[in-house]
């Protein structure tokens, strides 16, 4: 484990008490409603707040009982909710701020490459005041990366952006996800964002860790609140198989099944993650012959649980390679089909589930 620790912090009535063990690579989402302590925990990891406890990153002690490494000595990158660029420096000098404070022999990123990765080449000689919200946040992310971090901390980097700027910045974040070889901790209260970007998740509630683990597992656990939310969804990891130019559909493999998705062509073999809402999955006992639904995966009922809505039940389905889907169906449909755990069924995915 590259990041592990146990941190405690008391602020008035609020008490943070969190044990952490984050994997070496990939994005870990700190998820919870506002006030659950996500940002506080992130600030404790950075050393911006000083709690009690210990923290080890990549084998280095950042904090223990009688030792506290100050923020500027921690090899981390931090992206704040508001871009917080230095207003007195041009974009180029903002980017160079952290870059030139890292010894040349310690640098692990290339300036020009990072600038290209975040698409800020054209902005270098501008002042922050002349940038849009999305551009500022891209500069802030590039600035954090240029300090050659061993751990990247991001505090809701999209929360203060409008819808258009979010759409502008998401592809860059996804590109980062594929590029970065360091652990990323990403604070968010938007599950759609988390489903798109994270691999692991730490679920926080009232300052404590409710659950932690791989994203696809936590999303479908019926003992956690996520699977009961209106927008409950599961994620499916798929691989691009080919492109049917006539029908303008991309074929994806998911276990033994195949899904057709209408989107722009992608190179075969590319990994593609689908987020599929529980309300968009329909269960049938036989393979549908005469349905308008294009996509159908053979699956097995793993668990049937109650839903907060009394007229609904939540069914967890295992697709053949072990991935899980959620389906929210009417209580009486569940009885009519006489669904039982272990039963083989077909999961039909409504069209909008895959858009």
Partner 1 sequence: MTLLGIGEADWTALQLTLRLALTSTALLLVLCLPLAWWLAHTQRRLKVVVEALVALPLVLPPTVIGFYLLILLGPRGAVGGTLERLGASHLAFTFTGLVIGSMIYSLPFVVQPLQNAFQAMGRRPLEVAATLRAGPLDRLVSVVLPLSRQGLLTAAVLSFAHTLGEFGVLLMIGGGIPGQTQVASIAIYSHVEAMDHAAAHRLSLFLLLMAFALLVSVYALNKRFRVVGVMS
Q: State the residues that interact with partner 1 by CB under 8 A.
A: 46, 48, 70-73, 76-78, 80, 82-88, 97-98, 101-102, 128-129, 131, 136, 143-144, 147
Q: How far is the CB of 88 from partner 1 (least distance, A)?
A: 5
Q: Which is nearer to partner 1, 5 or 98 (CB)?
A: 98
The DSSP H or E segment spanning 335 is helix 331-336
Report the candidate in 253, 198, 217 with the shortest Cα–Cα distance to residue 326. Answer: 217
Q: How far is the CB of 117 from partner 1 (least distance, A)?
A: 18
143, 97 in Cβ contact below 8 A? yes
Q: Which is nearer to partner 1, 84 or 284 (CB)?
A: 84
Q: Which is nearer to partner 1, 102 or 206 (CB)?
A: 102
Which strands form 208-214's sheet, in the order they lie side by side?
Answer: 67-68, 60-64, 52-57, 3-11, 14-22, 208-214, 200-205, 27-31, 184-188, 151-155, 76-79
Q: How far is the CB of 87 from partner 1 (least distance, A)?
A: 5
Q: How far is the CB of 54 from partner 1 (least distance, A)?
A: 21
- The span from the CA of 306 to the CA of 248, in Å, is 39
- The span from the CA of 221 to the CA of 296, in Å, is 22
DSSP state of 104: G
Q: How far is the CB of 71 from partner 1 (least distance, A)?
A: 4
Q: Which is nearer to partner 1, 65 or 72 (CB)?
A: 72
Q: How far is the CB of 98 from partner 1 (least distance, A)?
A: 3
352 contact partners, CB below 8 Å, separation of at least 6:
280
Q: How far is the CB of 184 from partner 1 (least distance, A)?
A: 14
Q: Which is nearer to partner 1, 54 or 97 (CB)?
A: 97
Q: How far is the CB of 144 from partner 1 (least distance, A)?
A: 7
Q: Please give the backbone phi and psi of residue 12, each rounded to the nearest 5 degrees, phi first.
A: 60, -125
Q: Which is nearer to partner 1, 83 or 299 (CB)?
A: 83
- DSSP assignment of 262-305 equals -SS---TT-EEEEEEEGGGEEEESS--SS-S--EEEEEEEEEEE
Q: How far is the CB of 218 from partner 1 (least distance, A)?
A: 28
- Rg of the chain over Cα atoms, rounded to whole angstroms, equals 22
Q: Is the C-alpha dihedral spanning 331, 332, 336, 338 positive or negative?
A: positive
- The span from the CA of 134 to the CA of 46, in Å, is 24
Q: Which is nearer to partner 1, 129 or 340 (CB)?
A: 129
- The span from the CA of 165 to the CA of 94, in Å, is 21
DSSP state of 163: H
Q: Which is nearer to partner 1, 71 or 210 (CB)?
A: 71
Q: Which is nearer to partner 1, 83 or 220 (CB)?
A: 83
């Amino acid at each position: 484990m590259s990041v592990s620790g146990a941190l405690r912090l008391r602020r008035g009535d609020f008490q943070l008490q969190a044990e952490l063990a984050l994997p070496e690579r990939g994005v870990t989402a700190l998820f919870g409603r506002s006030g659950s302590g996500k940002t506080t925990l992130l600030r404790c990891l950075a050393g911006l707040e000083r709690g009690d406890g210990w923290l080890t990153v990549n084998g280095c002690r950042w904090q223990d009982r009688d030792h506290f490494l100050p923020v500027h000595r921690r090899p981390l990158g931090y992206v704040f909710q508001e871009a917080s660029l230095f207003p007195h420096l041009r974009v180029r000098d903002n980017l160079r701020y952290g870059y030139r404070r890292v010894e040349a022999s310690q640098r692990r990123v290339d300036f020009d490459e990072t600038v290209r990765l975040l698409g800020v080449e054209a902005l270098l000689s501008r002042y922050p005041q002349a940038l849009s919200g999305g551009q500022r946040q891209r500069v802030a992310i590039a600035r954090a990366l240029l300090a050659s971090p061993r751990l990247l901390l991001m505090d809701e980097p999209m929360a203060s952006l409008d819808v258009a700027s979010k759409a502008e910045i998401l592809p860059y974040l996804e590109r980062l996800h594929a590029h970065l070889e360091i652990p990323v901790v990403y604070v968010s209260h938007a599950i759609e964002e988390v489903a798109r970007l994270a691999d692991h998740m730490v679920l926080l509630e009232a300052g404590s860790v409710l659950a932690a683990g791989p994203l696809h597992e936590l999303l479908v656990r019926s003992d956690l609140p996520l699977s009961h939310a209106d927008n409950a969804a599961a994620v499916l990891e798929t691989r691009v198989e080919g492109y049917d130019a006539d029908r303008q559909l991309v074929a994806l493999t998911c276990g033994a099944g195949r899904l057709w998705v209408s989107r722009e062509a992608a190179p075969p073999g590319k990994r593609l993650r689908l987020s599929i809402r529980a309300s968009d999955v329909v269960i049938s006992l036989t393979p549908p012959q005469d349905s308008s639904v294009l996509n159908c995966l053979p699956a097995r009922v793993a668990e049937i649980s109650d839903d907060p809505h009394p007229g609904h039940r939540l069914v967890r389905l295992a697709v053949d390679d072990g991935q899980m889907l959620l389906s929210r169906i009417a209580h009486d449909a569940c009885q009519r089909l006489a669904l039982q755990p272990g039963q083989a069924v077909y999961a039909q995915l409504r069209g909008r589930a895959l858009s």
